[in-house]
Structure formats: C-alpha cells, structure tokens
Amino acid sequence: MLVEIPEVFSAQEAQAMRGQLEQAGWVDGRVTAGHRSALVKHNRQLPEDHPLARELGARIIERLSSNNIFMSAALPEKIFPPLFNCYEGGESFGYHIDNAVRPIKGAPGRVRTDLSMTLFLSEPGDYDGGELVVLDTYGTREIKLRAGSAVLYPGTSLHKVNPVTRGARVSSFFWIQSLVREDSERALLLQLDVAIQRLLRDVPEHGSLEELTGVYHNLLRKWAQL
C-alpha cells in the first residue's frame, strides 16, 4: 500500500525548513546505511543527533500526529526520529530495502520499520531527476511531490532515488512501527475507515455505521500488536 499525504506542511513552511537545512553541515549519507545499502547510496545527510534535525523532526512528528490520513494509514506505534538528506550533482541512491529494525541513537528503544516515509521539502521544478521509485504490488511507481507533501509505503518495498541532475532535492525520511505489522491488514483497515468516514459525511444517520465501526475496531483488536 502506497499512500500520498498532501500538504503536511504548506509550501511556505517547507521553504522555511529547507532554508534552515541549507545552512546546516551535511555529512556523507552512508553513515546510516547498512552494508549493502552503503554500496549504492550517494548523497549527503544531516547528522542524526544534530540539533536542527531534532528540532525539525519534532515538528514533523507533531504535525503528523494530527494528520488524519497519516494516522489512519500508518496506525503508528513508534516513529523513528526524522532524518534529512540532500541530493545534487548526480547523487542518487540505488535499489535497496531498508533495515528491518533500527536503533534510535542516544535512546534505548528500537523501531521495526513496517513503513517508510519521505517528506519532500524541495519543489519538483527546482530539480531534475530525484524521483523516489518504489516497486510495489501494482508495479513500479515514481513519486515526486510538491514541497510539504509526503508519501508512505511499506518498508519491505524495493526502492531507489534517481540521480539528481539539476538543482537540489532536500527531504526528510524516516520509518514507522505500526500497531498492525502486515501491510495487507493495514490496507483493509484503511479502506474500511475511509468508507466509514464517507458514510458519516454523506448519510450520518445510516443504520450500518455502528456495525461497520464495530467491525473496524474488532479487526484492529485482532491484528494490533502491543
């Protein structure tokens, strides 16, 4: 299941965040890559423990916690502190699958990477290339969203970032451990939730609403891992 989440931040907010990041000190992006991924990763990254990364990461998590699309699609249990990267001058990241479990630097916890997320901070017209390419059940998907918008996709997906041949692609990326581990089960819950919300909007007195809501919560109770 691949879900686009528009306007997590406004274009103006994304521009301001990008301006802050452009003044920060980037390091080799391979510092957070696994052995295999490091062979195909060519970009720059803000250090994990950089104060700006922590500041902007907290803003992103706070914003997502009130985003209905994200909460319904991800059903988050834990969110890895957002990281930030930059691609330019031909930099790219070849096909890879993210590490299944990631430790949180400076903290005792770990996050199982059920879902991967990219928040775009550069406008599509500001750079050439840089598409996020995801191989999912519906084939190959190329994603290049407006600044402030995000995409959520299974952490099990083979994916890459195409070379950036003009301009710079700045984004945030991170992972989510979901209450529901299986992507197919999350997809069914999302489909059911969307249908319930549509009924609430169009026919709020419909007699099936309580029954459907009960089905949703009973499925969540069956599949949730706490």
What whole-number distance in Å separates Cα of residue 95 and Cα of residue 165?
18
Q: Which residue has the tokens 């290339």?
A: 129
Instruction: Tell whether residue 169 is among the known ligand binding residues.
Output: yes
What whole-number distance in Å separates Cα of residue 127 and Cα of residue 136?
25
Instruction: Tell whether residue 96 is among the known ligand binding residues.
Output: yes
| Burial class of 85 by CB neighbour count within 10 A (0 to 12, 13 to 18, 19+) | buried
CB 128 within 8 A of CB 62: no
Please name the amino acid found at residue 15.
Q
What whole-number distance in Å separates Cα of residue 197 and Cα of residue 200?
5
Please name the amino acid found at residue 118.
T
Alpha-carbon distances, residue 187 vs 1, 75, 180, 184 (angstroms)? 6, 11, 10, 5
- Give the residue ranges of the annotated binding site for Fe cation: 96, 98, 159
- Give the residue ranges of the annotated binding site: 96, 98, 159, 169
- Give the residue ranges of the annotated binding site for 2-oxoglutarate: 169
